[in-house]
Structure 1
Amino acid sequence: MDVVWAVASKVSELTVEPIGTQLGYLVYYRSNLNELKEQLEKLAAKRESLQHAVEEDRRSGREIESNVKKWFDRVNKIKAEAEKFNGEGSQANIGCSYKSCPNLWLLYKWSRRAKKMADEIKMMEDGKFDRLSYTKLPEWPASSSTLGGDTFESRVRTLSRIMEVLADPATNMVGVHGLPGVGKTTLAKEVASKAKEEKLYDTVVMVEVKQKPDIKTIQREMAEMVGLKFDEDSQVIRASRLNERLRQGKKLLVILDDLWERLDLQKIGIPFGEEKKGGKISLLDDEYKGCKIFLTSRSEERLFKEMAELHDDSPPDLLTIANEVNERCARLPLAIVTVARALRNKSLSTWRDALRQLQQPSLRKVPGLKDVDSSIKLSYDYLEGRDLKSFFLLSAMLSNDAMTSDLFKYCIGLGLFEGIYIVEESLDRLQTMMKTLKVSCLLLDGSSSDHFKMHDVVRDSALSIAFNEKCAFVKRYEKIHNWPDKGQLENYKYLCFRGCDIDEPPPQLNCPSLELFLFESKHDNLSLPDDIFKRMPLLRVLTHFNFSSLPTPITSLENLTSLCLHQCELKDIAMIGVLRNLKVLSLTHSIIQELPHELACLTRLQLLDLSNCRKLAVIPQNTISRLNKLEALYLENSFNRWQD
């Protein structure tokens, strides 16, 4: 009986309580309706109060927080449901008169709905938010232009070049100049738009500096663009707060439009450089790595001073000489930038000497180019070290979008990495040299990370220098009708033919001083005569394209250090075994089926490049293992039969 009673009590507990709840909807029908009405009135009052604050923020240009928007959406939905509820209730017969009794089902239904709606309103947020809105940072819409033809294409090229330079980690400041109305501001806006579109920077700010810059105005405009409000009048405190805010973005681009005179970035609060010991300024301090400056100016003098890091308080004699040097740059941006960067932080005597050089006759007597030639020659003269100068001139001899790996092989052969004997360390030196030339605007990024380019104007000037200083004879993509005469050949150190139209092979060349011979013909299988190398005792680098076989006299090249046979059809190269001083052997993109046993004789070989030798099927056993100084072996898209 105890068991039966326990079970019965539990059943009663589970059934009576819900029944009581249902009956409550009937008993408290009027109370539930009043509760709903009261909650709706409170909600409406809160909604009206918040609506005023939201509208005020919107008029101020602030963006409403998403959770606030969702709250209003929910309130509007509840309001619509309540209006529908009241409309349906007014039409239903839920009352009681002397002719009818109350409709208990409708009473229950409406009371239940009213109760649930009131509870839902109570469960909603009470409308208290940490903040209703935030400052919306300005968007950078792509700037449209009505310009057409050459003008538009020129600006597109300029924009593309600017974005390339801004992407270079070695570049911290980029500037353009031009007369009023040529589109500098439009270009600046396009730079900002593209930088945001491609997500190159976390923060992009742009301000117009004007002829008489007002520091506080610039501070206020920049602060507004990053959602910062100033309550302080102190310029120093505002600069500190702005500096702190700008540093919150890891990568920052600051665009200064229409710069007339030197601007103290630290006074504004732009995190770009700090004063160091000795009075020198570091463009990027150790703490912050992400700030870059893009500036526009109608004055090439302003651009020159920025690139050369000249100040208004620099010595008057230095400023006078600098102005004269700038005049010699003939208003050409390329010359302005290269010369200014070459003379950065140099002494007054160096500036005077530079001006005298710029005033000398040009290397090339070509109207319109003499000033550019002399300015690039000046930049070349101030390159530190013989190796770096030779590296620059060698870079100019290669193709328009040359491979860095090819340049590396030639440098090893010519011994341009003085004091370095390890391949990995040589690669580090190569990257350092390239970076130095890029910072000086003498070298450009190529189509990929393993390519580099050079501006045509810089290249022409460099080849002119190479002709005079290195006794270099260079022909690129030309028709070769006549070979240099015997007297000229005796003095040449470099002979370079890249992509030339050569119908007939050269005759025997008497080149007792030649160190580098690059030979590339447009015609396939143009063989060199057997006696061509007999009179090249000092040759260190030989590069040839489309060889079908090695000339026998190659065995006389005892000093040959780098041999590059690219895109050649090689049948028998056993004779390379006598080239005991060879450090680099490159057979990329060549057709060769079997490496010779004699390869093992190259005991000084450090780099072997067999990339893209797709038909290579046989490497004799114990050949590569005997190359005890080999440090780099490249086999991409090449030999894959190691299991055999």
Structure 2
Amino acid sequence: MVSVDFGGIFNFLKDQVGGILSSSIGYIMSIDKNIESLEYEMGELKSIRDGIRGKCDTVKLQDVKLEPKVVWWLESVDALEAEEKSTVAEFDRRVKCMGEFSLDLWSSYNISKRSKKLLDRAADLKTKAVFDNVANEAGPPRFIEMPIPSTVGMDSVYEKLEEFVKADDGSIVGIYGMGGVGKTTLLKRFNNRFFIGKTDEVDVVIFVELPSGDFNTEEIQKAMYTRLRLPWRVEETQKERAAAILRALSQIKFILLLDNLWNRLDLEIVGIPVPKSRSKCKIILTSRIEDVCSQMDARKKIKMECLPWNDSWDLFKEKSDEELFSGNPQIKNQAMALARMCGGLPLALTTIARCMRSKRALGEWKHAVNNITDNPSDFPGMEEDVLVPLKQSYDQLPNDALKACLLYFTLWRNNKICECCVTSYWMSEGLINDFEDRKDARNKQSYILGTLRAASLLETAPDESFVGLHPMVGAMALWVARECGKLPNKWSVRYSNDLEKWRRAERISLRYQRLTTLPESPECPNLASLMLTNTHTLTKIPDSFFQSMPCLGVLDLSYTSIKGLPPGIGNLVGLHLLELQSTKITCLPEELKSLVKLKYLGLNWTRDLKAIPQGVIGALRQLLVLESYCSFCHWNTESTLGACFTELESLKKLTRLTLTVGSSAILQWLSESYPMADAVKELSIQNCDGLATMHLSSPTLLKNINCLSQLHLFDFDLKELVLGCGSEEDSEALPSPRFLILENLHRTKIVWRNRGLENLRKLYVMKCDKMEVLLHYEDDSTTHHEEGSRPVVTAFPNLEFLKVESLPKLKSLSDGWILSFPTLKTIVVYQCPELNKLTLVTEKLREFKCNKSWWDQLEWEVKRNENTFQLIYI
């Protein structure tokens, strides 16, 4: 018989039920605490999760796989988060809404028990959140610091770049400028901004330096792959690589720095997404060619200029031996001259300063100054570090004609030349074709100059009418013209009496040299251009000088002191251009008749020229341009008396004529001579006896002279000059010069009417010693507004420059009314002692040039803002 211990069983059951009840009651009673602990623990876990996920997002741009344990962990946290949200939501719905004590004990028990399990899982996942790498391979660094040279003088342009990048209205920024000016340095400095600042604005900054000249898409894609650490697979197609780059960059905020772009880069083909407006993503590119920036759709463009003098000198001192300068003033002067010749180009300043760092002798520095432009390759490192890099811009010009036009500027050395003169030289050299209409030639010239400017190879003077080469571009061009230094005598820019050097030369330019004599009978079988301009000490040319120059096409003798041409000038039967401007020549020789191929004859400002033999001008049948402004004025109406006006009429190819007229009869003849009158661009009327009144509004005075750009009235007894007319219909038929000069018109009264001279840009009034009022107003019908009780009249709506000089009796600019010049930029007043009040309104005035004592006593009758213009004392 089995004995049963009912007492023991009862006690066991009692203990088990009691435990269960106790545990259940415990879950129920601790539900609030468990939920609160779960939410706190999950908050910490999610914070850890977000940090690890951020690392994972960064490596996504590599197209590499995440570590499996990382993927499992992230998925586990996400799943746990979903369960936690569900549990908390159920707690809020079933328990929390009942207040402090819920009657739904079963739900409270289940929710509390579940939250405790979730809490344990969260704690376990936190302990496992330690990973050496989140991916199989390390991702690319966000920022890479780059070494940069000195950034002297770069702060202002750097700030401008920062401003453009921060703006939301342009996603592509273009930086352009000549080689060696510091574009790459600027870009590297901008790149390092992110490395130093450790900014969170962008995920990655990518710097891609493109190869010089032509590049292919594969090269750029390979550079992008390398920076992004994408796996390069040879079997991939260009499109597949583009897709990989696009996929990588589309998921991040990036800044792409493209350095040294020579041609338009198709971003789509490479796989680079164009950043959207108001995006942190940006593309910043550098190029020597402004057109490339435009072709890349750069909405913001920055031109990198060469350094101003103070920054240039600081950089030169930094790279050389400043202590030597402080101890030797003579060497310092030579060093400053050398630094100035670098034209503010950082690359040249750095290279030459380093080269001269060890030089201690004054003679060494003087030799350097004398040779920097003529023989720059003498400097160690100059050829490879400066000339070769600059030559890349030359090599990238699209055709040989542009290259030849650029090299031609070396004949002016470091000086600028007026744009209007360039056409004649280029046409004479055959660099651009002849055009029946000179406007076509000027248009072609504008295209060439524009292309050279856009390539950062040509500089424009501040007044925008003169162009030339930067000193270092000029040095490069001269080096190229000499076959990269192999033929040093091919183009010569320094005088030598070594006749062997003359024999080998193709181009000789001896501008601004102190020459008193020239060699006798130099043999120059290949000489095509000879420029002796601005050699003021040269007074005579040897009779036999032109004896052996069979190929000479261009001869420039301007601004010399020669008084005549030798008979040997007739040997130059192939001459196309003869420039004699501002010489002291008194008579043209008969031998000029032999120059039957001459296309350009320059006689401007040859005030001593009194005689031109009969038939000389008429013999020049190929002449396209005759410049005779402020020069010979004794044209005759009959051929037996010397130079005859009919000779001018016989020049059927003439497209540009600047002329000086000394009689009203010739002026009338000129006005009625069509089409020659149409060729007149500049006209000087002087010593014109019998012309007491002149109406520019007259339909007959300057009839057919419709293209007049400059009019000069000089030294005759003109009593009244009427400018403008009374009606709009009449004004359309008037000549409207851009430049009007009134000089030595002692008794002239200038009358202005309400229309005409709409194109006038410059007005000079000089040496009119009896003039008391500049402009008299004689048309009350003109509509105008009033300031106070005085009428305000706009006489010349497009005038930009006004100069009044040596007018001892001038008291007012107008007779009782206020002059308004809405576009006036510069005013010059000199030696006008009685002019102590200005009745003048200007809106765009930039500079006022005058004597200080005169300015101090001046009363400006109309309110003005002096801060808008610069006061320059002369």
Normalised by the size of structure 1, how large is the TM-score?
0.46
Which structure: larger Rg?
A: 2
Normalised by the size of structure 2, how large is the TM-score?
0.35
More helix by share: 1
- Ranked by relative contact order (alpha carbons within 8 Å, sequence separation 6 or more), the top structure is 1
